[in-house]
């Protein structure tokens, strides 16, 4: 039997979280891709009740083939989504203000894998696979800087084009397509793999973003979601096998063609990428130097019309008509 001392704190906590949920703190979160271990921390936060404890009613809805995560965000069909830093810079430059409320990636995961054991940097004019949904901004910057004249061939997902011999090289994420290539029997050695993080392109990737309008009006909800998500990722790092159990439930429910071995490799690599190279810690923060580097690289390659500042992603500006920090009214 439980004692009164044990029951009272539980009941009080339950009442507080229920009261918060009753106030309408519903929150739809849409990861940028289909169910997989790349989003394990959010699944953990949901299944372990971290969101509920934070007083927010979270629903996780993955994007569909006809509607991207960013499209859902712009239509207010979700409150937050994940995206890479370079994507966020493009979107902000395009006129949609975003706020980073949580940064999970501290390192870049992108690689180029070349066929026939060749160094990708020696393959000028090569046919190189690139995701049709984006993610390849740094590769385009690198190829332009080194005058490689790659012919970019778009693909939706998986590595079938490369395995079939239709490409000379392909972009891959170290936690995803890289392992797909290995499992398909592709020889992966130091000579034919170019890791962007080791060549001056270590730009952070996945973070959680909300629109500035939502942040300005729901700052507390956004912060509670971010804190509970961070708790989910920290729990995942301490309990990888139990986390995989949770991931596989989401994968199976979504009918994703994968297996536990692949998801284990993905989870291990995603968790590794969350550890900052310099501090050796999971910092869960957007680094100003990486924002500056990415912004300058992309502007130099005409992907941005201007440099997007770190403060634009982390320090939301006042909404129109409100007073700024010095008391002056913001112009409409």
pLDDT tens digits along 46-84? 999 999 999 999 999 999 877 888 889 989 999 999 999
C-alpha span between 18 and 52 (Å, rounded): 8
Contact between residue 244 and residue 48 where contact means Cβ atoms under 8 Å apart: no
Say whether 110-198 and 4-107+204-314 share the same fold.
Answer: yes
- pLDDT reading at 206 higher than 50: yes
Q: Are 248 and 263 in contact (CB under 8 A)?
A: yes
The structural architecture, per CATH, of the domain 4-107+204-314 is 3-Layer(aba) Sandwich (3.40)
Q: How far is CA 204 from CA 87, 88, 211, in A?
A: 11, 11, 20
Better-predicted residue by pLDDT, 9 or 206: 206
The predicted pLDDT at position 316 comes to 57
Q: Is the pLDDT of residue 330 over 80?
A: no
Quick check: 317 pLDDT over 70? Answer: no
Predicted pLDDT at 259: 96
The span from the CA of 287 to the CA of 279, in Å, is 12
Mean pLDDT of the chain: 88
Handedness of CA 35, 39, 40, 46 (dihedral sign): negative
Output DSSP code: residue 35. Answer: S
The region of weakest confidence among 65-74, 230-239, 257-266 is 65-74
What percent of the chain has a predicted confidence (pLDDT) above 70? 87
Of the ranges 6-20, 29-43, 148-162, the best mean pLDDT one: 29-43
Q: Map tokens 């290539």 to a residue.
A: 181
Among the ranges given (72-86, 108-122, 227-241, 305-319), the one the predictor scored with the smallest mean pLDDT? 305-319
Region 93-103: mean pLDDT is 97
Count the residues in the chain.
332
| Record: fold of 110-198 | D-Maltodextrin-Binding Protein; domain 2 (3.40.190)
| pLDDT score for 283 | 96
Mean pLDDT of 137-160: 91
Output the pLDDT for position 258: 94
> How far does the chain reach from its first CA to its final CA, in angstroms?
63
pLDDT at residue 9 is higher than 50 = no
Task: Classify 90 as helix, strand or coil.
Answer: helix
CB distance 123 to 205 below 8 Å: no
Task: Please determine, for residue 142, whether its predicted confidence score (pLDDT) is greater than 50.
Answer: yes
Q: Residue 301's pLDDT band (boundaries 50, 70, 90)?
A: very high
* pLDDT tops 50 at residue 163: yes
Q: In what order do the strands lie in the sheet with 169-173?
A: 151-155, 127-131, 169-173, 110-114, 193-195
Q: Where are the domains of the chain?
A: 4-107+204-314, 110-198
Region 17-23: what's the mean pLDDT? 41
Give burial (CB, 10 Å; 0-12/13-18/19+) of 31. Answer: buried
Residue 209: which pLDDT band, with cuts at 50, 70 and 90?
Answer: very high
CA distance 247 to 265: 12
Q: Is pLDDT at 24 greater than 60 in this prediction?
A: no
DSSP 117-159: G--GGG-TT-EEEEETTS--HHHHHHHHHTT---EEEEESSSS
**Residue 328, helix vs strand vs coil:** coil
Provide the pLDDT for residue 2.
Answer: 34
Q: How far apart are CA 284 and CA 166, in angstroms?
A: 39
As a whole number of angstroms, the distance between CA 147 and CA 164 comes to 27
């Amino acid at each position: 039997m439980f004692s009164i001392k044990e029951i009272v704190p539980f009941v009080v906590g339950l009442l507080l979280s229920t009261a918060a949920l009753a106030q309408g703190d519903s929150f739809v979160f849409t990861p940028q891709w289909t169910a997989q271990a790349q989003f394990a921390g959010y699944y953990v936060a949901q299944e372990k009740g971290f969101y509920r404890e934070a007083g927010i009613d979270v629903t996780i809805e993955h994007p569909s083939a006809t509607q991207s995560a960013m499209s859902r965000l712009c239509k207010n069909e979700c409150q937050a989504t994940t995206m890479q830093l370079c994507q966020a810079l493009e979107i902000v430059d395009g006129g949609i203000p975003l706020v980073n409320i949580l940064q999970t990636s501290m390192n870049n995961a992108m690689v180029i894998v070349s066929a026939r054991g060749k160094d990708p940097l020696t393959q000028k004019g090569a046919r190189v696979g690139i995701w049709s949904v984006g993610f390849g901004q740094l590769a385009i910057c690198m190829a332009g800087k080194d005058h490689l004249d790659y012919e970019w061939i778009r693909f939706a997902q998986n590595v079938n084009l490369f395995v079939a011999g239709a490409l000379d090289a392909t972009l891959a994420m170290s936690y995803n397509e890289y392992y797909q290539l290995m499992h398909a029997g592709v020889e992966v050695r130091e000579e034919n793999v170019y890791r962007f993080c080791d060549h001056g392109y270590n730009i952070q990737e996945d973070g959680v973003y909300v629109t500035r309008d939502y942040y300005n009006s729901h700052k507390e909800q956004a912060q509670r979601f971010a804190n509970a998500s961070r708790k989910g990722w920290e729990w995942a790092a301490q309990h990888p096998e139990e986390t995989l159990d949770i991931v596989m439930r989401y994968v199976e429910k979504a009918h994703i063609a994968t297996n536990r071995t692949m998801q284990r490799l993905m989870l291990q690599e995603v968790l590794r990428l969350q550890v900052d190279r310099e501090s050796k810690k999971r910092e869960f923060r957007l680094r100003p130097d990486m924002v500056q580097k990415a912004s300058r690289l992309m502007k130099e390659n005409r992907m941005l019309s201007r440099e997007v500042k770190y403060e634009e992603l982390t320090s939301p500006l006042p909404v129109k008509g409100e007073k700024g920090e010095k008391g002056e009214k913001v112009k409409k």
